[in-house]
Structure 1
Amino acid sequence: MHAADQMTVPAWVQAGSMDTLLEIFRDEINLAVWQRPLATSVERFSDALLQCGGQLAESHTLDVITDDSGNCAVRMPRLAGAMSHLEGYADFVADVAHLVDAFACLVDAQIIGLRLRSLEQAMCPRWHVDHVPVRLVTSYAGPGSEWLAEGQLPREHLGGPGIDRYARHVHGQALGVGEVALLKGERWQGNTGRGLIHRSPGVRQGERRLLLTLDWLK
């Protein structure tokens, strides 16, 4: 865990336990990372999916059902159905469903936005913040999202071309394959001006990513 000298400065936490994601509720934390290895079957499926070529770009709005005991569940769509013949497909879908359920329960969501896509280039190449409460991000294959500690870039230029002249002098940290991150955005209560600064990684020629993001819509 890294913590800034002053509690008012956004900081991050990372560890090998899923419970690490709970740290996102601390005021000073704007990034919580669960450092986990992917199951071998999930990793092989993800790699095989990308090797098949073609574009995967799925977006789903998921309703969360909460029973009288407070348990929540999400009815999952059929993800990447065209690839269901590949070995490890069931394990991959089960892994995504596990993350969706965990995210829904963690933030007490009623509606979640799910995006699953293959990428051959950086989707958001400039350093920026998200204008959402919190977003779950994980790369099943290919390079992971990059992020910066607080104070490395001036926030007033984020997302625009003006940030480019500053960005040459900073070096971000990157999420590993399979790691699950909660990125606190500008719309988290009390977090205006403190959203995590991050960007999509560069993708080398012939390289691809398989990216999952979950958004708390309501």
Structure 2
Amino acid sequence: MPSHVRIGDGIDALRCIRSADVNLAIWRRSYPDVAIAEVILDAVDDVAMVQPVEEIATTLPDELATAGYPTAIARLLAADVATLASALATIVGVTRVSIRLDVVETDACRRFHADYVTARLICTYVGPGTQWLTAADAAALGEGAAVDSLVVRSLSTGDVGMFKGKTWAPDAPIVHRSPPILTTGERRLLLVIDPAP
């Protein structure tokens, strides 16, 4: 594994993002408690909200229910999102976060890029996970290398990634993209949590 990436089996692995030489921290996990059947994605709307972290556990279940999630799934999903939002807030030092839970069916964000944020937490609950490049491959891409010549790495479904952005690491943010799925028929349920502006 490249030196700028840290991987662990617990949520504390995400704290490694605070190291100056790390731009991606990954919590490898399987998360059967929020096993969401893809058929549920037919019936739900995207959710977007900005909230104080301490309110998420109480307000998000209702937001998810309104968006069409079955009550049991809404509760489990909200509890997980609240835990992850708290982790991001503690690591980055904020009290409010922006949360997006989107059903992705297109190739949006299919180009490799770095985000203009301090840090972004990403978890894919359904479908293929976010793809990323090592620093060496990102540099090669910047110099004109074809994507097909690079080693494209991916988070697994359920993994949590803390991605360092351009605001925090202007010279070495993590370069990543959404996996191209338009021609595969796959769908993703994607959670993105950012520090609130």
- How far does residue 86 in structure 1 lie from its aligned partner after superposition? 5.6
User: Match of 2:134?
Assistant: 149
Q: Does 1:192 align with 2:167?
A: no
* CA distance, structure 1, for counterparts of residue 193 and residue 70 of structure 2: 25
User: Match of 2:40?
Assistant: 49
Cα 1:175–1:156 shift into 2, 3 Å: closer
User: Match of 2:185?
Assistant: 206
* CA distance, structure 1, for counterparts of residue 190 and residue 150 of structure 2: 24
- How far does residue 54 in structure 1 lie from its aligned partner after superposition? 4.8
User: Match of 2:159?
Assistant: 179
Report which of the two structures shows the higher radius of gyration computed on alpha carbons: 1
Aligned-residue RMSD, C-alpha = 2.2
Q: Judge conservation of contact 2:118–2:164 (CA < 8 Å) in 1.
A: yes
Question: Any idea what the Cα deviations from partners look like across 1:69-126, whole Å, max 9, x if unmatched?
Answer: xxxx234333322434365332122111211122222222132111110011222011
- How far does residue 217 in structure 1 lie from its aligned partner after superposition? 2.6
- How far does residue 140 in structure 1 lie from its aligned partner after superposition? 0.3
Q: Which blocks of at least 5 consecutive residues in structure 1 are unaligned?
A: 4-10, 65-72
- 1:91 maps to which of 66, 70, 76: 76
Same amino acid, percent of matched pairs: 29
Code of the aligned partner of 1:214: I
The more displaced of 15-24 and 81-90 is 81-90
User: Match of 1:74?
Assistant: 55
* CA distance, structure 2, for counterparts of residue 217 and residue 148 of structure 1: 26
Q: Does 1:37 align with 2:30?
A: yes
Which of the two has greater helix per residue?
Answer: 2
Q: Judge conservation of contact 2:24–2:163 (CA < 8 Å) in 1.
A: yes
- How far does residue 143 in structure 1 lie from its aligned partner after superposition? 0.3
Q: Does 1:63 align with 2:52?
A: yes
Q: How many residues align?
A: 192
The more displaced of 202-211 and 82-91 is 82-91
Question: Any idea what the Cα deviations from partners look like across 1:24-79, whole Å, max 9, x if unmatched?
Answer: 010000000000110x2411x353422xx156322111124xxxxxxxx2343333
Provide TM-score, normalisation by structure 1: 0.79
Code of the aligned partner of 1:131: Y
User: Match of 1:115?
Assistant: 100
